[in-house]
């Protein structure tokens, strides 16, 4: 049975309300541009064919009822009692409702069940799929009239306020704006973006899940953000026009290296270099130069490992295996880090060589085979219908 049918069936078992509307909200890959989004930089993500589905209908009971099908867990709250709770998955949803209410909207009681095939904690942004999916669904069902960028900002704020992760805007933006077969080049400062095609007739993006659950909430993510802000604060003494690391070039930061601690210098120079790599990677993709694009991916991983220090042994091992496997063009860790997935650009005729090479050389910390996920680029959050 496909997920939509499973959820509709489960919906009628959990709830009394009738005929739900179904929505779909995807995960994402990020080709390059990691940890640049909260520094006013660029990112190069795309929404993919792994998604969370929602079946949702209004009720007459003045309550919000959520069921996570995958976790077999339920959370219920009266509509006038919206506050963070001790179920982290529910906080992504409560945070969205809080944004609508905070903006003066009355959100009607509803019943909602959701489930899908985005691995949780794998750096594929199951969290943005979840909060953007609900934001999109409520905006549609109550005809609130918000734009997609508005919804992306709501979802980002929901994560800040209800989950405690000071995430950038990349995930929420791409989940809502993604288009089939297109990559987004997003300027996270202005939110201007370009959707462009990549010729993937001979290549494929493959994700390998370390099986190490990243825990962004575990403070390292917020710490990196703080370190970058600290760098900006120090550099502002020399040029008040600097608003974010976007406004700093390598020359400038090298000139002021003595004013920064080693750690802050490394964090900030990584971000500046990653923006430069992204520009080179983008040009390479547009020109069909996959080898050059792959080199930028490897460079990105090196920076994330050595200077930004958000990689881990398992991610490094997977990248090394990829590098030594014939037909792999580029590889790097993807997303926040400390676990989750690597993203690998592989020649289509080398897919089985790649898979065999990974399976022969890598086991998860539990001693299991890692998940290997072929990612196709698909449309962003959408209504499926009744």
- Least distance in Å: CB of 375 to ligand GLA? 15
Instruction: Establish if 20 lies at the interface with ligand GLA (CB under 6 A).
Output: no
Near ligand GLA by CB under 6 A: residue from 95, 178, 231, 336: 336
Nearest distance in Å: CB 172, ligand GLA? 8
- Position 37 contacts ligand GLA (CB under 6 A): yes
Nearer to ligand GLA (CB atom), residue 22 or residue 44: 44
CB 34 within 8 A of CB 335: yes
Catalytic residue among 37, 111, 131, 171: 171
Task: Check binding of 370 to ligand GLA (CB under 6 A).
Answer: no
Helices 148-158 and 126-141: crossing angle in degrees, nearest 10, is 130
- Which long-range CB contacts under 8 A does 325-329 form with residues at least 24 apart? 325/350, 325/353, 325/354, 325/357, 325/358, 326/350, 326/353, 327/351, 327/353, 327/354, 328/294, 328/354, 329/203, 329/290, 329/291, 329/293, 329/294, 329/297
247 noted as active-site residue: no
Q: Least Å distance between CB 143 and ligand GLA?
A: 29
Minimum CB distance to ligand GLA, residue 124 (Å): 9
For residue 150, give both structure tokens.
């508005």
Torsion of CA 88, 89, 91, 96, to 10 degrees: 160
- Total site size for ligand GLA, rule CB under 6 A: 11
Closest CA to 135 of 191, 175, 166: 175
Residue with tokens 């370190």: 227
Is residue 38 part of the contact set for ligand GLA (CB under 6 A)? yes
Q: Please tell me whether residue 171 binds ligand GLA under the rule CB under 6 A.
A: yes
What's the min distance (Å) between Cβ of 165 and ligand GLA? 7
- What pairing do the DSSP bridges indicate for beta strands 73-78 and 45-58? unpaired
Nearer residue to ligand GLA within complex by CB, 168 or 178? 168
SS3 44: coil
In the bound state with ligand GLA, the residue whose beta carbon lies nearer, of 125 and 357, is: 125
- Residue selected from 17, 34, 154, 185 as contacting ligand GLA according to rule CB under 6 A: 34
Asked if 35 interacts with ligand GLA (CB under 6 A), we say yes
Q: What is the DSSP string of 13-39?
A: HH--S---EEEEEEEEEE-S--S-GGG
Any contact of residue 273 with ligand GLA (CB under 6 A)?
no
Q: Tell me which residues in 82-141 interact with ligand GLA (CB under 6 A).
A: 125
Binding site for ligand GLA (CB under 6 A): 34-35, 37-38, 125, 167-168, 170-171, 335-336
**Residues classed as catalytic:** 171
């Amino acid at each position: 049975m496909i997920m939509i049918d499973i959820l509709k069936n489960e919906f009628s078992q959990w709830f009394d309300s009738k005929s739900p509307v179904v929505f779909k909200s995807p995960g994402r890959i990020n080709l390059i541009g990691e940890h640049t989004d909260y520094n006013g930089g660029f990112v190069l993500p795309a929404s993919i064919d792994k998604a969370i589905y929602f079946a949702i209908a209004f009720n007459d009971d003045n309550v919000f009822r959520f069921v996570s099908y995958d976790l077999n867990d339920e959370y219920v709250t009266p509509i006038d009692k919206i506050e963070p709770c001790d179920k982290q998955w529910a906080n992504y949803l409560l945070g969205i409702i809080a944004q609508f209410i905070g903006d003066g909207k009355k959100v009607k009681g509803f019943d909602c069940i959701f489930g899908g095939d985005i691995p949780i904690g794998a750096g594929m942004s199951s969290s943005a799929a979840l909060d953007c999916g609900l934001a999109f669904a409520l905006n549609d069902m109550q005809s609130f009239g918000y734009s997609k960028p508005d919804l992306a900002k709501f979802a980002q704020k929901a994560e800040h306020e209800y989950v405690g992760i000071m995430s950038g805007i990349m995930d929420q933006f791409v989940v809502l704006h993604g288009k089939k077969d297109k990559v987004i080049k997003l300027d996270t400062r202005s939110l201007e973006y370009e959707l462009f095609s990549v010729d993937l007739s001979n290549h494929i993006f493959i994700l390998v899940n370390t099986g190490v659950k990243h825990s962004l909430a575990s403070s390292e993510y917020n710490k990196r953000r703080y370190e970058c802000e600290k760098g900006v604060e120090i550099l502002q003494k020399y040029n008040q026009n600097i608003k974010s690391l976007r406004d700093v070039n390598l020359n400038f930061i090298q000139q002021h290296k003595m004013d920064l601690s080693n750690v802050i210098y490394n964090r900030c120079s990584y971000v500046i270099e990653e923006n430069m790599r992204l520009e080179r990677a983008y040009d390479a993709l547009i020109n069909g130069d996959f080898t050059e694009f792959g080199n930028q991916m490897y460079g990105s991983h090196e920076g994330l490992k050595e200077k930004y220090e958000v990689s881990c042994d398992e991610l490094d091992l997977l990248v090394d295996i990829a590098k030594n496997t014939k037909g792999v063009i580029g590889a790097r860790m993807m997303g926040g880090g400390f676990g989750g997935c690597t993203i690998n650009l592989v020649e289509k005729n080398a897919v089985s060589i790649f898979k065999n090479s990974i399976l022969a050389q890598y086991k998860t910390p539990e001693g299991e085979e890692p998940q290997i996920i072929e990612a196709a680029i698909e449309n962003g959050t959408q209504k499926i219908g009744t």
